[in-house]
Amino acid sequence: MNMPTEFPVTARSRLRRLPKRGSAERAQIYAILDAHFICHVGYVIDGQPFVTPTGYWRHGDRIFWHGSAASRMLRNQAAEIPVCLTVTHIDGLVLARSGFHHSVNYRSVMAFGRAARIEDAAEKRAALDAYVERLYPGRNAQLRPIQTRELKATTLLAMTIEEASVKIRTGPPIDDEADYALPVWVGVLPVRQVMDAPVADPRLAPNATWPAHLAPYVEGVGLSEVLTAAMNRKESYR
C-alpha cells in the first residue's frame, strides 16, 4: 500500500490534553482497531448525539458496519453525516496513593469520517463475507451462502477514516513524591476480555463437529489476541 503512515491531524482529532498519550501513527491505530470487533458509533440527529455499540471490521483505511435496512441509526448515518467511531480496550485499574491519581490503563482510537452506503450487490456480498472471515477465517466455506433477500434486508456502511487519534495509558500509577511512603497497596489490577467455554446450539446437527476455524477460540484465550491473529490470517476480500 502506498499510504502516508499517519492520518491527518486537525483541531478535531488533535489531543488537547495529555499529548504524550496521543499519536496518529497508522499502524498503532490499525492494531487497536484489529484487536476488537465492537465499536461505539457516535452520530447526531437534530442536534442530539447518539452512541450505539456496533460490530465493525476494517479493510485498509475503511471501517465497515452493517445492520437491518430498517435501522434508524443506519438510515441516518448513510446520509454521509459526520460520525465518530471509537474503539476501546480496557487494560487495567490503576490504584494510587491518593484518589486523585487513580486511573485506568486502556487503549482507544477515535476515528472520524462520513459513512456511505454500499449499494453494489457483489461488493456488498464480498464485504459481508469478509466480516465472517475476519472473525473466523475459513468459516464461510461451511455456511449457507448469503441470499439475495438477505442482501436487500441489510444496510452496509463504509467509512473512510479521514482522521483518527489514539489514546493509551499503560504502566503503574504516578503519585506525588511525598505520598510514596504511604503504607497502602498500589499498583495495577489488569483486566482482560477472554473467551469462555463454547456453548453449542441446542439444535446442533448431530454431524456438526468443532471446526478448525474455531480452534483459536479456546477457553481462557484473550479475545484481542484471537481477533488480531484472525485479522492477520484472513484473506483480503478484494
Q: Which of 27, 60, 68, 121 binds its own copies (CB under 8 A)?
A: 68
CB-nearer residue toward its own copies: 123 or 179 = 179
**Residue 145 touching its own copies (CB under 8 A):** yes
Is there a contact between 197 and 214 (Cβ–Cβ < 8 Å)? Answer: no
76 is a contact residue toward its own copies (CB under 8 A): no
Query: Could you say whether residue 84 binds its own copies (CB under 8 A)?
Result: yes
Among 209, 232, 235, 236, binds its own copies (CB under 8 A): 209
- Tell me how far, at minimum, the Cβ of 179 lies from its own copies, in Å: 5
Residue 65 as a binder of its own copies (CB under 8 A): the answer is no
Considering only residues 35, 63, 106, 161, which one is a binding residue for its own copies as defined by CB under 8 A? 106
Interface with its own copies, residue 179, by CB under 8 A: yes
In the complex, least distance from residue 6 CB atom to its own copies, rounded to whole angstroms: 20
| Residue from 29, 32, 78, 85 binding its own copies (CB under 8 A) | 85
Query: Is residue 100 involved in binding its own copies (CB under 8 A)?
Result: yes
Q: Applying CB under 8 A, which of residues 144, 215, 235, 238 lies at the interface with its own copies? A: 144
Sign of CA dihedral 134, 137, 138, 139: negative
195, three cell numbers: 473467551
> Quick one: 86 exposed, middle or buried, by C-beta within 10 A (0-12, 13-18, 19+)?
middle
50 belongs to the binding site for its own copies (CB under 8 A): yes
- Residues 148-179: b if buried by 16+ CB within 10 A, e if exposed: eeeeeebbbbbbebbbbbbbbeeeebeeeeee
Closer to its own copies by Cβ: residue 60 or 198: 198
Number of residues counted as binding its own copies (CB under 8 A): 96
* Cell numbers describing residue 116: 456511505
Is residue 154 part of the contact set for its own copies (CB under 8 A)?
A: yes
Shortest distance in whole angstroms from residue 2 CB to its own copies: 29
Among 6, 8, 59, 90, binds its own copies (CB under 8 A): 90
Contacts 24+ apart (CB under 8 A), 115-119: 115/65, 115/77, 115/78, 115/80, 115/81, 115/83, 115/157, 115/158, 115/159, 116/78, 116/80, 116/157, 116/158, 116/159, 117/78, 117/155, 117/156, 117/157, 118/156, 118/157, 118/158
Question: Is 62 among the residues that bind its own copies (CB under 8 A)?
Answer: no
